[in-house]
Structure 1
Amino acid sequence: MARLAAFDMDGTLLMPDHHLGEKTLSTLARLRERDITLTFATGRHALEMQHILGALSLDAYLITGNGTRVHSLEGELLHRDDLPADVAELVLYQQWDTRASMHIFNDDGWFTGKEIPALFAGICL
């Protein structure tokens, strides 16, 4: 029987300083000792999550980019779901009347049209 535990990262497992707390790390270690497969789901980029998990020596499946990517325990890309090019182009070049910032992910990185120091303060890249 396969056993899996899946967790959201931001606002669930991560502390306000964007790191995993000692109690959380201990709990994750106990799950691994019981042969429970760990899976982390996040809107974050896979590169950022691989950095976080690598620093903690955690092997886990990753669901990243708000579900657009699924990665194996070894980091291999298992699934990708991109916007069609015409839709992505329409969104990218639309004149938005908003203070919101646009973030564009691809497999190599993360791009944004504005500097947002507060956003990047918690990123561990």
Structure 2
Amino acid sequence: MTSKLKNIKVVVSDLDGTLLNPQHKISDYTKSVFQELHNQNYLIVVATGRHHLDAMAIIEKLEVPVYLVSSNGARIHSPDKEQLFAFNLESDIVKAALNVEIDPEITVVLFKENVWQTNRISEKLNAFQEELKYRPELVDYETLEDFGAIKIFFSHDNHEKLVVLKDAILANSSENLHHAFSLPTCLEFMDKSIDKAVAILRVLEKEGFSPEEAVSFGDGFNDVQMLSLTGKGLIMGNAPALLKETLPDLEVISTNAEDGVAKYISSKILNKEFVAG
């Protein structure tokens, strides 16, 4: 184990494309490794773009205490599900952001507290949830009155269409919002003060740890600041090439299909071999 890893006391991981396999599930092998992390008194933090209701249903399967940073940092929940931090975008800010020409084929989603409001029901997005703990609500944005939201989310298979939309929104709303492509097909807008890294710092300060004592794993552009913050940042092998080019000094590990996070933790942090389930 390197000297940098000897100091690690906190493990931070993204979910989709990172901790979860391509079927959006936690493998038995990953579960066993994270249970050993808990047994050895490591602090575990999951940091995801997912809504907290959706993410909670997933991390419960680890069967260990986990701090949850959700909606890219707009919510923080303690291991006992107490809400520690919450931030919502004001209705006028969201409405202004959506006041641009949006390709009618693009799925638009407003993350609300208990539902996600959308202009179309997307089976592809529903597939990210094994059980629909966080349900979609079909709305007409032309008649919607309350645009207040945790974050704004857009999805389309054509990345270039999302890039055009991103530029249009930032032309009008850059003073209030920043964006991230969690996947090439997923564009998200949050308040400028919101980021996974900012939320993780809140958790670390609460628990008395420094960023240098944390290792983080991620695969998307909403992970850039998080990966740069921690003492050791690790990029998934399945991450976009552009992310690897953006953070050229960071190590690239195995893919999520290969249980890359769990295998790295097992061999480099726990220094212990686990039998895959």
Q: TM-score, normalised by structure 1?
A: 0.87
SS of residue in 2 equivalent to 1:31: helix
For residues 40-55 of structure 1, the aligned pairs below 5 Å read 40-55=46-61
Corresponding residue for residue 84 of structure 1: 90
Q: Distance in 2 between matches of 1:76 and 1:94?
A: 37
Runs (5+) with no aligned partner, structure 2: 1-7, 133-277
Q: Which one has the largest radius of gyration?
A: 2
Corresponding residue for residue 103 of structure 1: 109
SS of residue in 1 equivalent to 2:107: coil
Q: How many positions carry a matched residue from both structures?
A: 125
Change (3 A) 1:58 1:109: farther
Q: Distance in 2 between matches of 1:26 and 1:11?
A: 19
For residues 6-85 of structure 1, the aligned pairs below 5 Å read 6-85=12-91
Identity of aligned residues (%): 31
Corresponding residue for residue 120 of structure 1: 126
CA shift, 1:52, in A, is: 1.5
Q: Distance in 2 between matches of 1:9 and 1:53?
A: 9
Residue range with higher mean Cα deviation, 100-109 or 27-36 = 100-109
Corresponding residue for residue 3 of structure 1: 9
Question: Is contact 1:43–1:64 with CA below 8 Å preserved after alignment?
Answer: yes
CA shift, 1:23, in A, is: 1.8
> Relative contact order (alpha carbons < 8 A, sep ≥ 6): 1 or 2 greater?
2
Q: Which amino acid aligns with 1:102?
A: V
Question: Is contact 2:46–2:69 with CA below 8 Å preserved after alignment?
Answer: yes
Change (3 A) 1:118 1:76: same
Q: Distance in 2 between matches of 1:66 and 1:111?
A: 18
Q: Which amino acid aligns with 1:57?
A: E
Runs (5+) with no aligned partner, structure 1: none
Q: Distance in 1 between matches of 2:64 and 2:114?
A: 22
Question: Is contact 1:37–1:60 with CA below 8 Å preserved after alignment?
Answer: yes
Change (3 A) 1:94 1:77: farther
Q: Distance in 2 between matches of 1:47 and 1:4?
A: 23
Q: Which amino acid aligns with 1:40?
A: V
Q: TM-score, normalised by structure 2?
A: 0.42
Q: Distance in 1 between matches of 2:109 and 2:66?
A: 25
SS of residue in 1 equivalent to 2:12: strand
CA shift, 1:79, in A, is: 1.1
